[in-house]
Amino acid sequence: MISQRMQEAINEQINKEFYSSYLYLSMAAYFEDKSLPGFAHWLRLQADEEREHAMKFYNHLVDRGGRVRLKAIDAPPVDWPSNLAVFEEVQQHEAKVTASIYALYELALQEKDYPAQTLLHWFIDEQVEEEKNAAEIVQQLRLIEEHSASVLMLDHRLAKRESEE
């Protein structure tokens, strides 16, 4: 049986993961509006991935006899000053998610919750990849400094991302 503290913390993480999905979907909509379908595609896949992360936590709670308690999801921003600003926010957001996963792992250690520790190892590894991907795009956008031909080339590259199913 999962402890009440762990159950509450995982429910909070479910909310954070769904917010991440909602945020990335809003960013995708922003790029759709700017006629940059590759950027939008990359962010839609990211939104799907975050929803899958929420469901991993959801299923973990259900499998362990815990109670899932969904909460309201905050509205994400809808506009950004630049393409770079969007991906800087992605990078900052992923760093916050990483900190949240680390805190959850610390709680799992305190609670001696071995199944949660096993689940969280996967998320810790996943966050390394998430932060790396965001940092690479930020660096590339900084290099091209919003020159339209370069943005279109990066847009084309991002459109080729495949789902990780």
C-alpha separations of 148 from 36, 71, 140 in Å: 11, 41, 13
Domain that holds residue 43: 4-159
Task: Give the number of domains in the chain.
Answer: 1
Contacts of 108 (CB under 8 A, 6+ apart): 6, 114, 116, 117, 120
Is residue 165 situated within a structural domain? no
Look at the block and give the residue holding tokens 């792992």: 105
- Decide if 66 is inside a domain: yes
In a domain, 164, yes or no: no
**For position 125, which CATH number holds?**
1.20.1260.10
Rg (alpha carbons) of the chain, rounded to whole number: 17
Say if 105 falls within a structural domain: yes
What is the CB neighbour count within 10 angstroms for residue 128?
10
The answer to whether residue 32 sits within a structural domain is yes
Q: What is the pLDDT along the chain (165 residues), one digit of tens a residue?
A: 899 999 999 999 999 999 999 999 999 999 999 999 999 999 999 999 999 999 999 999 999 999 999 999 999 999 999 999 999 999 999 999 999 999 999 999 999 999 999 999 999 999 999 999 999 999 889 888 766 677 777 778 888 888 876
**Helix intervals (H) in 2-160:** 4-33, 37-63, 83-110, 114-144, 148-159
Vertex 165: Cα angle to 156 and 76 (nearest 5)? 65
DSSP single-letter state for residue 34: T
Return d(Cα 145, Cα 105) in angstroms, integer.
38
Provide the pLDDT for residue 165: 66
Do the domain assignments include residue 76? yes
Closest CA to 82 of 130, 144, 132: 144
